[in-house]
Chain A
Amino acid sequence: QTVVTQEPSFSVSPGGTITLTCGLNSGSVSTNYYPSWYQQTPGQAPRTLIYSTNTRSSGVPDRFSGSILGNKAALTITGAQAEDESDYYCVLYMGNYIWLFGGGTKLTVL
C-alpha cells in the first residue's frame, strides 16, 4: 500500500526558515507526481499554496516555495511569521485520476 509521508510536527522561530517534506514509503517523489501543498488552520477550509511542484497559487506570499529535494517534494517557508502556524498537507498525483494526501505536518511558530 502506497503511503505519502510527512513529518507529524515541526517548530520554527519567527523569522526562521523551515523545510517540510513529502515522500513515499516506497519510491521517490518527482515532478511527475505534480506535488501540491495546502495550508489549513483549525475550523477552516484548506488553502492552496503550491501546485505542480513549485507554482505558487494566486495571492500566496513568496516566502512559500516548493521544490524537489532529493527523493521528496519540499515546502520551504523563508522568514516564518506567526500566522504561518497551521497544518500543512501535501498531495501527490498517483496517475489514473487518483490522488493521495500525506498525513499532514503541524507547524508551530514560537
Chain B
Amino acid sequence: QVQLVESGGGVVQPGGSLRLSCAASAIHPMDWVRQAPGKGLEWVAFIQSDGNIKSYAASVRGRFTISRDNSKNTLYLQMDSLRTEDAAVYYCAVGESYAFKYWGQGTLVTVSS
C-alpha cells in the first residue's frame, strides 16, 4: 500500500505563492487533484516517474509548476499568482493505469486577503 502525506497548505493572499509537498513511500507517476469547498474534484497536474513528462489543467497552466525529488520521494506543487478560485483541498495521488490509484489525505489552501 502506498502512503502519501501532503503538507504546505495554509493561508495566502491573492497574487501570492505557496509550495505544497507530498511525501510518498515509493516512486510512481503522480498527480495533484483539488477540491474547492463544496465543489467537485478537479485534476490539476501530472508528472511522470522520472519527471520528464509534465502536464497541467488549463486553469493552472502557466501559474503552477509540478516537480519531484526522487532522492527524497517527494512531490511538489509550486503555486504562483494565486487566485481566490484556487482555494481548495489539494490531494496528491499515484497515477497508475490512467487512474488515480492511491490518495493522500489532502492539504487545505486558503486564498484570501
Contacts and interface: CB of A to CB of B under 8 A. Distances in A.
Interface string B45-70: 01000000111010000000000000
A48 B101 contact: yes
A79 B65 CA distance: 44
Contact of A48 (B53, B55, B99): B99
Contact of A104 (B31, B41, B98, B103): B41
Contact of B98 (A52, A87, A103): A52
Interface residues on B, range: 20 to 34
A48 B33 CA distance: 13
Interface string A37-56: 01010000111100110010
- Among B53, B54, B97, the most chain A Cβ lie within 10 Å of the Cβ of B97
Nearest to A48: B101
Interface residues on A, range: 20 to 34
Interface in A54-75: 55, 57
A97 B53 contact: yes
Interface string A91-103: 1010011111111
B43 A40 contact: no
Contacts of A104: 40-41
